[in-house]
A and B are shown apart, each in its own frame.
Chain A
Amino acid sequence: MKKQFWGLAATAVLAAMVAVPASAHRQWMLPSSTVLSGDDVWVTVDAAVSNDLFYFEHQPLRLDAVKAWAPDGSEAPIENKATGRYRSTFDVHLTQKGTWKIASAVDGVMGSYDLGGKTERLPRGTTTANLAERIPAGATNVRTAESNNRNEIFVTVGEPTDTLFKPTGKGIELVPVTHPNDLFAGETITFQFLLDGKPTADLPITVIPGGIRYRDQLGQIDTRTGVDGKVELTLPEAGMYWLNVTTPQVEGEGEGPPPADAPPRRRASYVTTLEVLAP
């Protein structure tokens, strides 16, 4: 009975691993506004996984892991949550002045072990907390690697603050040199990216302007972090942009399922939505 469960789980994981790199699906959260004024302020957010930006046409983003933080660091409720066929939506009541963070950070462990002469993969949903119980007794040659996927957006009421940018040291994180809620077309934007708390060079960055459906070219900007994990961007047009940073892929990765005995690789990804205003 137990063996059958593990077998099914492993199949599901393999299917998931094949599906992810092969598709161009992008996950995103789109706030109704990033720069706000007033005393009783709300923001509403659409969240989805889709091909085009920012249209909901594939899957809703699950809200289980989405949380909000007020500028003082306290956690704030996600209100009016709903998940439809193509998108999820929720509201956040911005009861404090300053910069708020809305984020979904999913940490997992990928890996494999040998049992009864066969190599098995760790099931989806394995974390550092439940790793021990997911490795059956008698398993040998246990190989694991952590994965951290962070999808976060920022919204500011009044003056931008940077209290929520203290790195946790886990996965890829953004350190603003230019505040993400103070972006204007034609101005140089500088961000720094950390991997596991350390500034990391050569992290691939993709920036795509929203509104893909109504233009011929994707308009994708591909770059990498430089010295100190820093990157400079100049975006010519105002609008919403999707930014993605991932740990680099090795050659051939994503072209079919990895062999069962391939060692698990450290993976981390970062997604944010940036609003660039007209000067």
Chain B
Amino acid sequence: MQAPIRTLAIGTSIGAALAVPVLAAAPATMDVTVNIPRLKVAEYHKPYVAFWVEKAGAKPKTVAVWYDHDMKANEGTKWLRDVRQWWRVSGRTLTFPANGITGATRAPGTHRISFSRAQLGATAPGEYVLVIEASREVGGRELLRIPFSWPARAGAGGKAAGKTELGAVSVSFR
């Protein structure tokens, strides 16, 4: 019984020693995990989902929007306004498809999407909010907010859970 414990202790100390330089480098990436719930409805369409970052006193910045971007004649843009808070704060000033932020709609399930600090527009240190809004054709709409600080500490994060159009949503840094 003694030997394994000692081994474990040594392992831990090595791990801690190795972790020091990793901790010293500030996290550079935000990972966002989004669950899109499977809904039992007669007519299901994958939701349009917008992700944007708000900071007091700054213009909201869209970091991703999932919509029917590949329909002919850009027809999928017709329903972007139904993601209505996003449309108001940011969407309506963009042209589509928007470079670097446009993505396809996602099926029910858990999806991970990552953003660099530059993508988030979090260049200045401070308090930010990641807002995620989902709107589904012939369905509902839901909006979740997760506050975060930048520079982020390793291990920092946040989560929120939707009730209808969004499931569990979490943010972590690496």
Write the residues of chain A forming the contact surface with B, with a CB cutoff of 8 angstroms: 35-41, 158-160, 182, 184, 277-279
**Given A159-B92, A182-B88, residue A39 in contact with residue B80 (CB < 8 A):** no
B76 to A, closest residue via Cβ: A38
Kindly list 10 other residue pairs between chains A and B, CB separation below 8 angstroms, not including A35-B87, A37-B81: A37-B77, A37-B78, A37-B79, A37-B80, A39-B74, A40-B73, A40-B75, A158-B93, A159-B92, A277-B84
* Shortest 5 CB-CB contacts between residues of A and residues of B: A38-B78, A37-B81, A37-B80, A38-B77, A39-B74
Listed by A's residue number, 5 A-B pairs whose Cβ atoms lie within 8 Å are A37-B78, A37-B79, A40-B74, A40-B75, A184-B88
**A154 shortest CB reach to chain B, Å:** 15
A41: chain B residues at CB < 8 Å are 78
A182: chain B residues at CB < 8 Å are 88
A39 to B, closest residue via Cβ: B74
Docked complex Cα distance between A39 and B73 (Å)? 8
Q: How many B residues are at the interface, by size bracket?
A: 10 to 19
Docked complex Cα distance between A182 and B93 (Å)? 13
B83 to A, closest residue via Cβ: A37
Docked complex Cα distance between A182 and B79 (Å)? 17
Write the residues of chain B forming the contact surface with A, with a CB cutoff of 8 angstroms: 73-75, 77-81, 84-85, 87-88, 91-93, 96
**A38 shortest CB reach to chain B, Å:** 4
Asked whether, in the complex, the Cβ of B93 is within 8 Å of the Cβ of A38, the reply is: no
Docked complex Cα distance between A277 and B135 (Å)? 15
Docked complex Cα distance between A36 and B84 (Å)? 10
B79 to A, closest residue via Cβ: A37
Q: Which of B80, B81, B96 has the most CB of A within 10 A?
A: B81
B93 to A, closest residue via Cβ: A159
- Which listed residue (B73, B85, B91) contacts A37, Cβ 8 A? B91
Asked whether, in the complex, the Cβ of A158 is within 8 Å of the Cβ of B74, the reply is: no
**A239 shortest CB reach to chain B, Å:** 14
**A160 shortest CB reach to chain B, Å:** 8
Docked complex Cα distance between A38 and B77 (Å)? 4
Docked complex Cα distance between A35 and B80 (Å)? 10
Q: Which of A39, A40, A41, A279 has the most CB of B within 10 A?
A: A39
Docked complex Cα distance between A66 and B88 (Å)? 29
Docked complex Cα distance between A279 and B143 (Å)? 11
**A201 shortest CB reach to chain B, Å:** 32
B74 to A, closest residue via Cβ: A39
A34 to B, closest residue via Cβ: B81
Asked whether, in the complex, the Cβ of A38 is within 8 Å of the Cβ of B75, the reply is: yes
B80: chain A residues at CB < 8 Å are 37-38
B88: chain A residues at CB < 8 Å are 182, 184
**Given A159-B92, A159-B93, A182-B88, residue A35 in contact with residue B73 (CB < 8 A):** no
Docked complex Cα distance between A160 and B91 (Å)? 12
**A151 shortest CB reach to chain B, Å:** 25
**Given A159-B92, A159-B93, residue A37 in contact with residue B87 (CB < 8 A):** yes
Docked complex Cα distance between A40 and B78 (Å)? 8
B75: chain A residues at CB < 8 Å are 38-40
- Which listed residue (A35, A40, A184) contacts B81, Cβ 8 A? A35
Docked complex Cα distance between A97 and B75 (Å)? 15
Asked whether, in the complex, the Cβ of B93 is within 8 Å of the Cβ of A39, the reply is: no
B73: chain A residues at CB < 8 Å are 39-40
B85: chain A residues at CB < 8 Å are 279
**B102 shortest CB reach to chain A, Å:** 14
- Which listed residue (A40, A158, A277, A278) contacts B92, Cβ 8 A? A158
